[in-house]
Structure 1
Amino acid sequence: MSLDGFSMYPLVTELNKQLAGGRIDRISQPNKHTVLLAVRQPGQNFSLHISINPQNPVINLITRSVENPAEPPVFCMVLRKQIEGGRIAEIKQHVLDRIVLIDIDTLGAGGIILTKTLVIELMGKYSNMILLHETKIIDCLRKVGTTSSRVRLVLPGYEYSLPPNQDKLNIMTDSIDLLIEDLKKYPELKLVKAIVQTAIGLGPVSAREFVFSAGFSANILVSELDEADFTSLKTAITEVLTLFRENQITPMLFLDANNKIVASAGFPLHYLENVLPKTFTTMSELIDFSTKLTGNYTLPDKDRFQKLVHGELTKSANKATVLAKELIQAQNAEDYKIKGDILMTYQYQLSDHLGEIVELPNIYEEDPEKHLLKIPLDKRYSIIQNMQTYYHKYDKLKRAQNLLQIQIEQCQQDLKYLSSVESSLESSSTLIEIGEIKTELIASGYLHEHIKKKASEKPSQPFKFKASDGTIILVGKNNYQNDKLTFKTAHRKDIWLHTKDFPGSHVVIRCENDAPAPDTLLLAATLAAYFSKANHSSKVPVDYTPCRYVKKPTGAKPGFVIFTNQKTLYVTPNEQEMALLILQDLNKK
């Protein structure tokens, strides 16, 4: 979800009202895109979340706790040195653009107050976070050198310059009459596009609402409007501006039937049809909800481990292909024995060093004389030596068959295991979960690193959901957790579920005595399908059986089990419905 500059106006107003005058107690950087400022106000603490993630750059207040790496990144240490302990003087927006400026008063040498500015540019792939003293860059989260931009360098020690001026009107400060006059310069454009092109900070969402509120269709051209129409447009824009200026905002998120975000704004959007509107108390709450819903939060090491596992999967798949070809070749071992036997039978009729090919009756046919077999020879050797060569190749390939079968089986197990780790990584959402997967990768020999585990660190908990009838459903998040859930947490009468033929999480329905209700069983099966490699498929087969029928073979990899007495359900997981359900995880409350 991305807000335009116009909808950011009430957000910045809201942040300034809550944080101005507050002391920055602590600064942390949970991942490469995100910085958190812990701000203390009299009687209240706030957590300001700033992310320059290209897919979802945001700034908002959050209430959830966010885990941090043991070692803070360099940018975080610079911020701590420069502004930790400082007081926020003001939070403001540059014109109506997606640029937020946080002025922070810090104490310099001799008790002099130095004002430093944290600039947050929320502009998609060009997003950045820059710390300034006056106009000089102290440090920045994303370094922009000559290889990235010829227009604007963003590097420590350089003078900071704002992004290139767009030469557009600011409807919060400029007269709407000026906007109307500028619109008339683009008679060939659709009115919505002309508004976006003329006014800074206005995206298509805000522009379409203005046009709709004025009584026009989204496709109307500027040239089709008369003076009365322009007056209607001016009135529609002014009504929203008045609400913003008087701080009478209505933060709203609009979802489609699949709970996918359609649009968001600080005011109602009447032009949208067939959507579910969701209203929030503050813009920060709106942003926090949408971030959770879309999963736009990247954990440190998650990308690295995903690349590692993907690479190992590719290697194992390639190895399996090569081994399969070698097995086919090894299965032709009998051909070498036949040729050796024929040479043995006719050795006394042949002279040594005859040539490259000899044609002899095939003694394994009913009428050998009618079935001649061409046998290649190495003329450097005698007939007996050629015969021994064929027997040697036969023995070698027969031994290879058994070894190849074992290697192929091991390769298939590796592929299943790595796929299960990949699935666990996709659903991981905390540093502890990533740490557990890291431990698993090290123990399995795929990652060669030492891991420092804090003595006080508690293991992660499985997902915990409550069905409509109150039944508890548990979902493992990684292979270690799957084993613990299935063999330590679950009781013998509980119901165990897992996708058929797909790597995924172990799911357990807690049962007292009775069998689970059909709706509960269906929900658990849907969760099993969603937390698996088949989460984007339809009619996913999910096996279920009482936990007493699930066993773990001796020496098996984490997460691997065998089971009997299973039945199968077919379900189709809905991504957005599952995303909303995850927000109700009881182990996160």
Structure 2
Amino acid sequence: MSLDGFSLNPLINELNDKLAGGRIDKICQPNKQDIYLYIRQPGQTYILYLSINPQNPMANITEFQPDNPPEPPVFCMVLRKQLEGGRIASISQYGLDRMILIDIDTLGPKSLIITKTLIAELMGKYSNLILMQDGTIIEAFRRVGENSNRVRTVLPGQNYEVPPIQDKINILITDTNSFIERLKTYQEATLYQAIIASGLGFGPITAKEIIFLAGFSNDLLIKDMDEMDFSSITNIIDELKLMYQEKNFSPTLVLDKKRKIKAMAPFALHIFNEKDFTLKTYADINALLEDSKNYTNSYYNLPEKDFYRKTIHNEINRLTKKEKILTEELAKAQKAEKYKIKADNLMTYQYQFKDHQDKEITVTNIYDENYAPITIALDTKLTIIQNMQAYYKKYDKLKRSTQMLEIQIKRCQKDREYALTIETAIDACTTIADIEDIKAEMIKAGFLPPENKKKASIAPSKPFKFALPNGMFLFVGKNNYQNDKLTFKTAHSDDIWLHTKDIPGSHVIIDTKGDEVDEDTLFLAAQIAGYFSKARGSSKIPVDYVECRYLKKPSGAKPGFVIFTNNKTLYVTPDEDEIMPIINKDLNKK
């Protein structure tokens, strides 16, 4: 969910008011879709976040400082070379389109001021960041060749062309009557369709809000409207224009019952009732966008995180299939006894039959209490004795394979359980150091091939650190290496250890400082343990808790594996309204 062009307008004005005149000190590109510009103003440094995430393209001022990758991507290096040290001249919008133009004055040869423009096209899957000078493209985040788009290419050295222009009316600079006259031209369309087709920058939410405030339904046909109806639309449009002129906004974020974003706008949204939706208001658009990241996956998309998640998911599927095949083979091997019975019967009755004559024989089963007959298939190429030996040989082979298969199944189950803990840990990663820990663990476990290339050193990863309402601190491991270090090196013997029962998840430590832990704190910590586990989103999650003195790591055990005694179990259903304010304030985050 992102803002339409009409709603983007006040945000761009906010950015221009705060950032114009600021010097670009630093540029960071932590992944394949985000850019962070550190902009210095007198007495303060702002961080401008630009994202071309197809699901949620965005631009806003953030307080979050991402990890700087040891090897910056090409586009980041180009921006550093071209823009660092430059001053932002202005931030503007192209019409009411979803395009942000950031003009930056840089110092050129002979101290001449050269203006370069960083263009953020926030258009869903077509989103892009483009750097240009005097109408010529210097570089683009996503290069677009003729194979990708025959209408418009975006390549270095080419002249920059704006996306195809829409023949719509900008109500902020045009008389309202012109907009109404345009509506009337769509006689066969619904009012909703006509507003979308006529107003530049109008998205579905803006159009529906206009219709609702005017007292109409979305499917009302234009041809069925009279002058009084159009007068109602005129009044609403004039109110919107006055709001934009006076900058009297009421930024609103709408969440459904599952805490998913349904809509956002710089004005109140009356189309959503408070009974079925949660409506949150903010001081400005920037604050709205910053908070919206808590309800999406767009806050910080770590590089390679999706790759490792996919790799470990494939490994889990492989181990699951392998276990199924081994179990089927074991079931067959466990039927080995029937071959021994046939061999023993052949030994008993061998003198009653001649070699190379019968393809099968039927005799009384010496092991059956009711003397039931048994039919034994024979290979006529072999003698009776040789057939008997063949049955014994098959019996011995299956008997040996049964033992081996049982060992392999147990090993496969342990590997799968371990892979599930890594999959859970990947979801908890928030820094590049966390990802490097995951990578090292997967290489050691054999899930990834070893790397020969040396990489630049990265600061050690840190677990989550949260402040609890009672003043204690709560530590949450992000991966198995952190879990081991947290449990056996950081925690004290009287600290409380929590973990979901028989479910992959993080080790959670309550730093008690030797004090007693009240039930409310214990229950809250158990909810957080359930949240940072494979059972996230479930109800009545079993969570074991015990003092750290009763924990032990078996010799040779895989990372993150512990055994314990004297534990108790709580059953919790994580309440996100209660735990999210705590989780969103990681004290180990920059």
Q: Find out whether 1:536 has 2:537 as its counterpart.
A: yes
Question: Letter of the aligned partner of 1:311 in structure 2?
Answer: N
Q: Find out whether 1:524 has 2:525 as its counterpart.
A: yes
Q: Find out whether 1:394 has 2:364 as its counterpart.
A: no
For residue 555 of structure 1, report the CA deviation from its aligned partner: 1.0
Distance 1:456 1:167, change over 3 A: closer
Q: Identity over the aligned pairs, expressed in percent?
A: 53
Q: Check conservation: 1:260, 1:576, Cα contact below 8 A.
A: no
Alpha-carbon distance in structure 2 between the residues aligned to 1:20 and 1:564: 62
Alpha-carbon distance in structure 2 between the residues aligned to 1:214 and 1:537: 43
Distance 1:580 1:86, change over 3 A: same
For residue 481 of structure 1, report the CA deviation from its aligned partner: 1.6
- 2:168 alignment partner in structure 1: 168
- 2:373 alignment partner in structure 1: 372
SS in 1 for 2:588: helix
Q: 1:292 aligns with which of 285, 291, 294?
A: 294
Q: Find out whether 1:179 has 2:179 as its counterpart.
A: yes
- 1:194 alignment partner in structure 2: 194
SS in 2 for 1:497: strand
For residue 478 of structure 1, report the CA deviation from its aligned partner: 1.1
Alpha-carbon distance in structure 2 between the residues aligned to 1:431 and 1:72: 13
Alpha-carbon distance in structure 2 between the residues aligned to 1:463 and 1:345: 75
- Counterparts of 1:291-440 in structure 2 under 5 Å? 291-296=293-298, 297-368=300-371, 371-440=372-441
Distance 1:149 1:80, change over 3 A: same
SS in 2 for 1:346: helix
Question: Letter of the aligned partner of 2:291 in structure 1?
Answer: F
Alpha-carbon distance in structure 2 between the residues aligned to 1:585 and 1:559: 22
SS in 1 for 2:401: helix
SS in 2 for 1:315: helix
Question: Letter of the aligned partner of 2:338 in structure 1?
Answer: D
- TM (norm. structure 2) is 0.92
Alpha-carbon distance in structure 2 between the residues aligned to 1:92 and 1:541: 53
Alpha-carbon distance in structure 2 between the residues aligned to 1:5 and 1:79: 26
Question: Letter of the aligned partner of 2:77 in structure 1?
Answer: M
Alpha-carbon distance in structure 1 between the residues aligned to 2:74 and 2:98: 26
Alpha-carbon distance in structure 2 between the residues aligned to 1:282 and 1:357: 89
- 1:38 alignment partner in structure 2: 38
Distance 1:290 1:520, change over 3 A: same
- TM (norm. structure 1) is 0.92
- Counterparts of 1:106-505 in structure 2 under 5 Å? 106-216=106-216, 220-223=220-223, 225-274=225-274, 275-296=277-298, 297-368=300-371, 371-447=372-448, 448-450=450-452, 457-466=459-468, 468-505=469-506
Q: Check conservation: 1:259, 1:576, Cα contact below 8 A.
A: no
For residue 148 of structure 1, report the CA deviation from its aligned partner: 2.6
- 2:73 alignment partner in structure 1: 73
Alpha-carbon distance in structure 1 between the residues aligned to 2:83 and 2:510: 50
For residue 452 of structure 1, report the CA deviation from its aligned partner: 5.4
Question: Letter of the aligned partner of 1:420 in structure 2?
Answer: T
Per-residue displacement from partner, 1:50-74 (whole Å, max 9, x unpaired)? Answer: 1101111001111221112110111
SS in 2 for 1:30: coil
Q: Check conservation: 2:465, 2:475, Cα contact below 8 A.
A: yes
Q: Check conservation: 1:193, 1:204, Cα contact below 8 A.
A: no
Per-residue displacement from partner, 1:496-540 (whole Å, max 9, x unpaired)? Answer: 322223211122334466764333233222222221112132332
Aligned pair count reads: 586
SS in 2 for 1:31: coil
Distance 1:356 1:550, change over 3 A: farther
SS in 2 for 1:206: helix
Q: Check conservation: 2:466, 2:583, Cα contact below 8 A.
A: no
Alpha-carbon distance in structure 2 between the residues aligned to 1:539 and 1:77: 50
Alpha-carbon distance in structure 2 between the residues aligned to 1:67 and 1:54: 22
Alpha-carbon distance in structure 1 between the residues aligned to 2:148 and 2:582: 41
Per-residue displacement from partner, 1:176-202 (whole Å, max 9, x unpaired)? Answer: 111111112234544333222210111
Q: Check conservation: 1:472, 1:510, Cα contact below 8 A.
A: yes
Q: Check conservation: 2:524, 2:579, Cα contact below 8 A.
A: no
Q: Check conservation: 1:463, 1:476, Cα contact below 8 A.
A: no
Q: Greater CA deviation, 266-275 or 567-576?
A: 567-576
For residue 158 of structure 1, report the CA deviation from its aligned partner: 3.2
Q: Check conservation: 2:466, 2:582, Cα contact below 8 A.
A: no
Alpha-carbon distance in structure 1 between the residues aligned to 2:313 and 2:443: 16
Q: Find out whether 1:556 has 2:557 as its counterpart.
A: yes
For residue 425 of structure 1, report the CA deviation from its aligned partner: 0.8
Alpha-carbon distance in structure 2 between the residues aligned to 1:473 and 1:87: 43
RMSD (Å), alpha carbons? 2.5
Distance 1:106 1:588, change over 3 A: closer
Alpha-carbon distance in structure 1 between the residues aligned to 2:587 and 2:86: 37
